[in-house]
């Protein structure tokens, strides 16, 4: 009996030891995993402290279903000063992608009697041959369950490379409080709508106060804004970035909304060093995560950005001071260049004294960067000013539209941009597009050579040259050309360099 008891105790001890060994092994594995994750997090925090928070240059890799709310929080706390929810393409299904959503506000104007308590418009790109058939839900703050809305849609463009621009509308009869999100999902009751991506809402005014007509031409009542998109090859150099901003600032543009993920955060951070009284411009950055092949969907994406640009600027009431009156969309290689006037404000007031035209069309001129420099251009001018002939080459170009927000009294007027159109004569204003000219049927990064260029008709246009002395004397451009702004650390005083 004594021997049997000893063997039982020994067996129990072996089990206890085995259990302790297993527990120790699991504890060590857990500790190593925790230690690994800790050092990963510490490394990320160290990188953020040194280089800043994630910038727009990485956002292009976000898929169509990327969480826009999360990205909004990242950007809101970064050095890029994004003040609102950034627009992002999110997949509704394989045929449709939503971009940005806008809530019509009926609270400010008591005389309005809307049919629905809330109307939400969402910019959507979809396949041209597919009829939208969706349901929609509207989400409210502090309410976990969304409310079902009434779905409708508008077609906002002709088919472009098998794509169309749509505006999806989700409305509610009853007022359950201010909505803050909308989701669209296929009209199939077997699909859980809670899994659909949610678009945050941007509140816009339903009506703008009509500007009083006057025979007195106040130039300062014209406030133009430019919304910037990438070139068809979506890369922008530092030279092109600075030259675009400074040249348009010289012709009277103070408001820029930039939709581009390829502008490095370092450039933006350096730009933010300038005090407001020196730069005197207002710049807003948004990412652009196009979910399609960019070259094939460029025009439809451009149309979507224009609509987003108009929606965002319409949200400001004209009762407030210094709100935009005219908007246009340009790529980095396109420049609005007045031929006679010195500013866009003076030109628009001369061309449309009563500001009655909703859309003004401007023709585009192709300036080949591979043409020879003009011998009369000053050596200190930017390279684009040394290209003084525009060519009739088989290069893709398009007319540029300037939209007059003051003619859009109600929000519904935005969907009627084709009324009251007039073209601005090339003798008054042109869009100079600076690009490498080459055979569109073959890949050649250098484009046509000097002999091949002479085959095409070309004509002298020196309108850009008249801004040469102004740009080389501009404070920001001088700092850029000297290289000081790029060598100065972020805590340096820019005024010391002037």
Mean of the pLDDT values across residues 268-297?
79
**For 237-269, how does the pLDDT look when each residue is reduced to its tens digit (9 = 90+)?**
888 888 999 999 999 999 999 998 888 777 777
Average pLDDT, the chain: 79
Angle at 436 between CA 252 and CA 363, to 5 degrees: 45
Give the DSSP letter of residue 427: T
- What is residue 67's predicted lDDT score, i.e. its pLDDT? 41
Q: Is residue 192 scored above 50 in pLDDT?
A: yes
38 or 88: which leads in pLDDT: 88
Question: 201 in helix, strand or coil?
Answer: strand
Q: Is residue 111 scored above 80 in pLDDT?
A: no
Report the DSSP beta bridge partners of residue 125. Answer: 97, 165
> What domains sit in the chain, N to C, each tagged with a CATH number?
85-205 (2.60.40), 224-482 (3.90.550)
Question: 397 in helix, strand or coil?
Answer: coil
Mean of the pLDDT values across residues 122-138?
92
Angle at 107 between CA 105 and CA 112, to 5 degrees: 90
What is the rounded distance in angstroms from the CA atom of residue 60 to the CA atom of residue 261?
6
What is the rounded distance in angstroms from the CA atom of residue 387 to the CA atom of residue 447?
15
- What is residue 422's predicted lDDT score, i.e. its pLDDT? 93
214 or 486: which leads in pLDDT: 486
What is the rounded distance in angstroms from the CA atom of residue 351 to the CA atom of residue 344?
10
Helices assigned H by DSSP within 107-252: 238-250
pLDDT band at 62; cut points 50, 70, 90: very low
pLDDT band at 307; cut points 50, 70, 90: very high
Q: Name the phi and psi angles at 461, rounded to 5.
A: -145, 110
Q: Is residue 460 scored above 80 in pLDDT?
A: yes
- What is residue 125's predicted lDDT score, i.e. its pLDDT? 95
- What is residue 126's predicted lDDT score, i.e. its pLDDT? 93
Look-up: residue for tokens 């008249």?
466
- What is residue 51's predicted lDDT score, i.e. its pLDDT? 36
- What is residue 65's predicted lDDT score, i.e. its pLDDT? 38
Separation of CA 435 from chain center:
22
> Across 195-199, 398-402, 448-452, which has the greatest mean pLDDT?
398-402
Mean of the pLDDT values across residues 101-112?
65
What is the rounded distance in angstroms from the CA atom of residue 295 to the CA atom of residue 14?
70
338 or 269: which leads in pLDDT: 338
Two tokens, residue 215: 């025979």
| CB 183, CB 146: distance < 8 Å | yes
What is the rounded distance in angstroms from the CA atom of residue 106 to the CA atom of residue 119?
9
432 or 264: which leads in pLDDT: 432
**For 462-471, how does the pLDDT look when each residue is reduced to its tens digit (9 = 90+)?**
999 999 999 9
| CB 57, CB 265: distance < 8 Å | yes
pLDDT band at 443; cut points 50, 70, 90: confident
Two tokens, residue 293: 């092949």
What is the rounded distance in angstroms from the CA atom of residue 101 to the CA atom of residue 297?
21
| CB 328, CB 226: distance < 8 Å | yes
Mean of the pLDDT values across residues 78-85?
49
Mean of the pLDDT values across residues 475-498?
63
Mean of the pLDDT values across residues 268-285?
76
**CB neighbours of 344 closer than 8 A, spacing ≥ 6?**
222, 224, 251, 252, 253, 326, 336, 338, 429
| CB 288, CB 263: distance < 8 Å | no
**For 206-229, how does the pLDDT look when each residue is reduced to its tens digit (9 = 90+)?**
777 665 555 554 556 889 999 999
Least confident range from 152-161, 200-209, 372-381: namely: 200-209
| CB 112, CB 106: distance < 8 Å | yes
Distances 39 to 28, 52, 350, 385 between C-alpha atoms, Å: 16, 19, 64, 52
Q: Work out whether the CA dihedral 106, 112, 116, 122 comes out positive or negative.
A: negative
Look-up: residue for tokens 């890029």?
80
**CB neighbours of 415 closer than 8 A, spacing ≥ 6?**
154, 156, 167
What is the rounded distance in angstroms from the CA atom of residue 16 to the CA atom of residue 255?
74
**For 309-322, how does the pLDDT look when each residue is reduced to its tens digit (9 = 90+)?**
999 988 766 556 66
- What is residue 233's predicted lDDT score, i.e. its pLDDT? 81
- What is residue 488's predicted lDDT score, i.e. its pLDDT? 54
Mark 294-319 as b/e (b = at least 16 C-beta within 10 Å): eeebbbbbbbbbbbbbbbbbbbeebe
Look-up: residue for tokens 């990412």?
287
- What is residue 351's predicted lDDT score, i.e. its pLDDT? 92
pLDDT band at 115; cut points 50, 70, 90: low
- What is residue 24's predicted lDDT score, i.e. its pLDDT? 83
- Among 157, 156, 177, residue whose Cα is nearest residue 168: 156
Report the DSSP beta bridge partners of residue 185. Answer: 135
Two tokens, residue 73: 């929080």
pLDDT band at 335; cut points 50, 70, 90: very high
pLDDT band at 456; cut points 50, 70, 90: very high
| CB 226, CB 255: distance < 8 Å | yes
- What is residue 208's predicted lDDT score, i.e. its pLDDT? 72
**For 2-59, how does the pLDDT look when each residue is reduced to its tens digit (9 = 90+)?**
455 555 656 677 777 788 887 787 778 777 777 666 655 554 444 343 333 343 333 3
- Among 413, 357, 315, residue whose Cα is nearest residue 105: 315
| CB 492, CB 272: distance < 8 Å | no
137 or 143: which leads in pLDDT: 137
What is the rounded distance in angstroms from the CA atom of residue 360 to the CA atom of residue 488?
42
Mean of the pLDDT values across residues 338-359?
92
| CB 176, CB 142: distance < 8 Å | no
| CB 384, CB 477: distance < 8 Å | no
């Amino acid at each position: 009996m004594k021997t049997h008891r000893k063997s039982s105790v020994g067996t129990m001890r072996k089990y206890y030891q085995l259990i302790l060994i297993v527990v120790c092994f699991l504890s060590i594995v857990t500790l190593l995993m925790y230690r690994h994750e800790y050092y990963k997090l510490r490394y990320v925090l160290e990188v953020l402290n040194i280089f800043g928070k994630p910038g727009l240059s990485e956002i292009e890799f976000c898929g169509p279903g990327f969480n826009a709310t999360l990205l909004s929080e990242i950007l809101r706390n970064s050095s890029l000063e994004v003040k609102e929810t950034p627009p992002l393409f999110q997949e509704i299904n394989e045929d449709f992608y939503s971009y940005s959503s806008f809530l019509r506000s009926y609270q400010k104007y008591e005389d309005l009697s809307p049919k629905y308590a809330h109307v939400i418009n969402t910019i959507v790109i979809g396949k041209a041959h597919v009829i939208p058939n969706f349901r929609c839900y509207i989400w409210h703050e502090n309410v976990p369950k969304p409310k079902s809305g009434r779905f409708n849609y508008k077609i906002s463009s002709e088919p472009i490379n098998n794509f169309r621009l749509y505006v999806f509308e989700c409305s509610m009869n009853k007022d359950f409080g201010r909505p803050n999100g909308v989701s669209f999902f296929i009209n199939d009751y077997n699909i859980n709508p809670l899994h659909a991506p949610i678009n945050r809402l941007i509140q816009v005014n339903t009506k703008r106060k009509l500007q009083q007509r006057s025979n007195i031409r106040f130039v300062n009542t014209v406030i133009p804004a430019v919304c910037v998109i990438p070139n068809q090859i979506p890369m922008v150099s530092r030279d092109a970035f600075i030259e675009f901003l400074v040249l348009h600032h010289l012709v009277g543009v103070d408001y820029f909304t930039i939709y581009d993920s390829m502008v490095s955060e370092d450039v933006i951070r350096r730009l933010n060093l300038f005090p407001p009284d020196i730069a005197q411009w207002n710049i807003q950055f948004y990412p652009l995560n196009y979910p399609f092949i960019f070259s094939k969907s460029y025009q439809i994406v451009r149309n979507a950005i224009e609509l987003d640009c108009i929606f965002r600027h319409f949200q400001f009431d004209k009762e407030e001071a210094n709100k935009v009156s005219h908007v246009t969309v340009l790529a980095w290689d396109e420049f609005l260049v007045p031929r006679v006037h010195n500013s866009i404000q003076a030109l628009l007031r001369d061309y449309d004294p009563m500001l009655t035209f909703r859309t003004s069309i401007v023709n585009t001129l192709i300036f080949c960067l591979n043409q020879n420099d003009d011998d009369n251009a000053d050596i200190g001018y930017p390279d684009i000013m040394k290209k003084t002939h525009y060519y009739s080459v088989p290069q893709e170009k398009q007319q540029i539209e300037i939209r007059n927000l003051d003619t859009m009294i109600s929000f519904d007027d935005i969907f009627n941009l084709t009324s009251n159109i007039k073209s601005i004569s090339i003798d008054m204003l042109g869009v100079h597009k600076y690009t490498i000219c080459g055979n569109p049927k073959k890949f050649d990064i250098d484009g046509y050579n000097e002999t091949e260029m002479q085959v095409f008709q070309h004509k002298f246009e020196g309108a850009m040259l008249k801004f040469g002395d102004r740009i080389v004397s501009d404070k920001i451009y001088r700092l850029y050309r000297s290289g000081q702004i790029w060598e100065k650390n972020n805590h340096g005083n820019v005024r010391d360099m002037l």
